[in-house]
Amino acid sequence: MSAELAIRDLEKVFSTGKPAVDGVSFTIAKGEIVVLLGPSGCGKTTTLRCVAGLEHPTAGEISLDGDLVSAPAKGILTPPRARNIGMVFQSYAVWPHMTVRQNVTYPLRTRGMTRAAMTAAVAEALDLVDLAAYADRPVTQLSGGQMQRVALARSMVYAPRLLLLDEPLSNLDAQLRLRLRDDLRRIIKRTGLTALYVTHDQQEAVVLGDRIGVMQDGKLRQMATPADLYNRPADQFVAEFTGAASMLPCRLVRREGEFGSVEMADGRRVEAWMPGAPAIGAAMVLAIRPENALLGAAGGPNCFTARVTSLRYQGTQTIYELDALGGRIEALELGTAARHAEGAEVSLTLPPALTWAYASLP
């Protein structure tokens, strides 16, 4: 049932002129969950709506299991109703003039099913989202979380080829969001549906996605597994967006494959991982996540002295702001007691695999 989604060179230009989606290409395997992550206005929702057929792309191709559904160059534009896609909207979009059962039955009515088959499919879908007991309630009597599950059941009841989810949890309160986040992955995986999920919440992306695509300004910056995204950010934007708080200017002095040495503003050299093939002498930026900057000498390369300029105590963790390598570096330590005071001299170790250098943006 579920299909492979392939997007090639997708482009969507609104009348304002600036492309909202600019040459995005990726493929989602059967049964895989891919999350598009990015700040608001990055084009992730427009991409999703192009796949749904609710927006008309201006260039590129979208295909489901090889069937072209959007290909403006060839004049192909399958309307949403003929794509056999399920979608969960940010506002739930459950129909307030219907009961839970009527909402979930609605998509089946145009699919030429027998009454018995419809009843069975609806019962199964409601079971899956744990709403069987609420089937005959008007949806307006449900809580936000329940409405979202009605929307989910409605989008899956006809076993669509692809499930699209547009920030489905953003209208829920924080606690409910955490619970539903885990439920969502479990439910989608159990049905084996291919899913494309859009969010601006990194935690949600990491928990839900088999792979995550980071978008910025209409471009797909990186698409990788959650672990790769966090350990091998492809560029400075991705590193910064996923949480690398410290950015220091530096210059490349030596490179061997993926690793190399950069010279910092204070003349010290740091071993770092670097994507692409920057030239020797190029201006670069060193990016470090606070979680990867270790306080204390671990024995090995990249061990420096630093001074604590200020600290932010956060209860279960402390963030130190350090004066080191001719700039400012943030380091995070877990624990309820802060180990260092303001002004203290400490050792700082930067593991080379988790210290990244990127060519400076022009």
Partner 1 sequence: MSIATTSPRLFSRAWSALLLVILAFLIIYPTGMLLLGALTDANPVIDGFANMQLSLGNFATVLANPTVHAALGNSLLACTGGTLLAVVIGLFFAWIVVRTDTPMRGFIAATGMLPLFVPPLVAGVAWAILGSPKTGLLNTVLASMGIGFRFNLYSLSGIIFVFGMYYAPYVYMFTASALRNMDPSLEEAAEISGASAFRTMFTITFPLILPAIVSGMLLSFIVMLGIYGVPATLGAPANIPVLTTYIFQLTSWSPPRYGTAASVAMILMVVTGALVVIQQKVLSGRSYVTVAGKAFRPRTLRLGPWRWFTFALAVIYLFVVVLLPTAALLIGAFRKFLFIRNLEALFDAKQYSWLHFDRLFSNPATIDSIVNTMEVGVATALIGGVLAFAVGYTVARTQAPWRRAIDVIATVPVAIPGLVIGVAYLWAWIGLPGGFYGTIWILALAFVARFLPDTVKVLTSSLMQIHRELEEAAWLCGRGTLSTIATITLPLARPGVIAAMTLLFVLSIRELGSSLFLYSSQTMVMAVHLLGYYEGGNFSVTAAFSLVQMVLLAVLIGLTNLATRSSAPSDAVGSVGRAG
24 to 53, contacts with partner 1 by CB under 8 A?
Answer: 52-53
- Return the residue of 54, 71, 176, 353 that touches partner 1, per CB under 8 A: 54
Q: Are 40 and 219 in contact (CB under 8 A)?
A: no
Q: Quick one: 96 or 300, whose CB is closer to partner 1? A: 96
157 to 216, contacts with partner 1 by CB under 8 A?
Answer: 158
Q: Which range binds partner 1 by CB under 8 A, 25-33, 118-126, 151-159, 272-280?
A: 151-159
Q: Are 230 and 207 in contact (CB under 8 A)?
A: no
β-strand partners of 356:
273, 287
Listing DSSP states for 123-181 in one string gives HHHHHHTT-GGGTTSBGGGS-HHHHHHHHHHHHHTT--SEEEEESTTTTS-HHHHHHHH
57 to 116, contacts with partner 1 by CB under 8 A?
Answer: 79-87, 89-91, 93-97, 106-107, 110-111
Question: What token pair was written down for 89?
Answer: 């909207």
Q: What end-to-end distance do the CA atoms of the chain give, in Å?
A: 47
Q: Quick one: 1 or 54, whose CB is closer to partner 1? A: 54
Strands of the sheet with 294-295, listed across from one edge: 294-295, 345-349, 303-313, 317-324, 327-334
Q: Quick one: 141 or 336, whose CB is closer to partner 1? A: 141
| Site map 228..257 versus partner 1, x via CB under 8 A | ------------------------------
Q: Quick one: 35 or 52, whose CB is closer to partner 1? A: 52
Of residues 15, 5, 107, 2, the one with CA closest to residue 51:
5
Beta strands 5-13; 59-64: pairing state: antiparallel
Q: Quick one: 107 or 260, whose CB is closer to partner 1? A: 107
Q: Quick one: 1 or 344, whose CB is closer to partner 1? A: 1
Minimum CB separation from partner 1 for residue 80, in Å? 5
Residue 222, CB-side half-sphere exposure with 13 Å CA sphere: 20
Query: In the chain, how long is the greatest CA-to-CA distance?
Result: 77
Task: Identify the three-state secondary structure at position 268.
Answer: coil
Minimum CB separation from partner 1 for residue 7, in Å? 18
Angle subtended at Cα 192 by Cα 209 and Cα 158, rounded to the nearest 5 degrees: 115
Q: Quick one: 63 or 236, whose CB is closer to partner 1? A: 63
Q: Are 212 and 44 in contact (CB under 8 A)?
A: no
Give the interface size with partner 1 as a residue count (CB under 8 A).
28
Q: Are 234 and 56 in contact (CB under 8 A)?
A: no
Minimum CB separation from partner 1 for residue 92, in Å? 8
Helices and strands (H and E) in the chain: how many: 8, 21
Q: Quick one: 101 or 289, whose CB is closer to partner 1? A: 101
Q: Quick one: 104 or 284, whose CB is closer to partner 1? A: 104
317 to 356, contacts with partner 1 by CB under 8 A?
Answer: none
Instruction: Determine, following the binding rule CB under 8 A, whether residue 314 of this chain makes contact with partner 1.
Output: no
Minimum CB separation from partner 1 for residue 106, in Å? 6
Minimum CB separation from partner 1 for residue 123, in Å? 18
Minimum CB separation from partner 1 for residue 16, in Å? 13
Point out which residues bind partner 1 (CB under 8 A).
Answer: 52-54, 79-87, 89-91, 93-97, 106-107, 110-111, 151, 154-155, 158
